Amino acid sequence: MEYFGDARDDRQPVVLTIPGLNNSGPGHWQTLWETSRGDCRRVDLGRWASPNRNAWVTRLDAAIREAEGPVVLAAHSLGCLAVAWWGALQSQAYGWPVAGALLVAPPDCDRMETPQTIGGFGPTPRAPLPFPSILVASRDDPYIFYERAHSIAKNWGSAFMDAGHSGHINAESGLGDWAYGQTLLEGLIDHARDQASAMRQIRPSIHPVHQDAHRVGLCASR
């Protein structure tokens, strides 16, 4: 993949929603956000029932490039692993063009009992993500232990948010349009705007490869 430059601008960030295995249905918070918000659009990763890591990362990369401006990612489940692999394989200046990511309920692809369908996304990348991020985990997610989710958040440099007992944080969790998630998303969008404004005044020649995720300005628990 080619390196991204640093042609920052002050356009409103585009929110790209990235579903997981089998896509997100009509009652999923991602779908409801796309319906009710004017800044969200879904990335068509293809092969929803039989995902391929490289194919998903390639499609995500194309969607980010097509946005032609600052991007905030809102990923769920296996979509979080696609984001993590994109971050590991792509060399972007910190926070550009992806200015932030909301990573909700990533599965543990490293467990021995992981289904072969998603096992190809392992091993889970350990490198810090090249953008501010928030990882939201549930205490009773059937696809990952809570402590493991916290460990992944530390590796990725993500602020860690406790969603309580919310299952896989999907349509079956009964969240509706998930107001709490939208609050977290707005924090990332505001941070992206602030960074774009700051960069119009000061453009440093060296960009850190990793910064504390708490720069997003959100506390580490609800």
Q: What pTM, to 2 d.p., does this model score?
A: 0.86
Q: Supply the pLDDT for residue 160.
A: 99
Q: H helices of 5-52, where?
A: 29-36
Q: Is the pLDDT of residue 7 over 90?
A: no
The rounded percent of the chain whose pLDDT value lies above 70 is: 83
Q: Is 82 a domain residue? A: yes
Q: Where are the beta strands (DSSP E) in the chain?
A: 14-18, 40-42, 71-76, 98-104, 133-137, 159-162
Q: What is the CATH number of the domain that holds 198?
A: 3.40.50.1820
Whose structure tokens read 């990952």? 144
Q: Supply the pLDDT for residue 78.
A: 98
Question: pLDDT for 172-219, tens place per residue?
Answer: 999 999 999 999 999 999 999 887 666 666 554 444 444 444 445 454
Q: Is 4 a domain residue? A: no
Question: Distance (Å, rounded) from C-alpha 69 to C-alpha 7?
Answer: 9
- Output the CA–CA distances (angstroms, integers) from residue 30 to 17, 113, 130, 133, 200, in the order listed: 6, 27, 23, 17, 32
Q: Is 187 a domain residue? A: yes
Q: Is 148 a domain residue? A: yes
Q: Which domain holds residue 149?
A: 14-216
Q: Is 146 a domain residue? A: yes
Question: pLDDT for 54-104, tens place per residue?
Answer: 999 999 999 999 998 899 999 999 999 999 999 999 888 899 999 999 999
Q: Of 143, 185, 139, which Cα lies nearest the Cα of 29?
A: 185
Total domain count for the chain?
1
- Output the CA–CA distances (angstroms, integers) from residue 63 to 68, 88, 148, in the order listed: 9, 17, 29
Look up residue 217 and give its two tokens.
């300005």
Q: Is the pLDDT of residue 43 over 50?
A: yes
Q: What is the mean pLDDT of the chain?
A: 88
Q: Looking at residue 214, what DSSP letter applies?
A: G
Q: Are the C-beta atoms of 200 and 173 separated by less than 8 Å? A: no
Q: Is 141 a domain residue? A: yes
For residue 125, cis peptide bond before it (omega within 30 degrees of 0) = no
Question: Distance (Å, rounded) from C-alpha 143 to C-alpha 59?
Answer: 24
Question: Distance (Å, rounded) from C-alpha 40 to C-alpha 195?
Answer: 20
Q: Is 186 a domain residue? A: yes
Q: Is 9 a domain residue? A: no
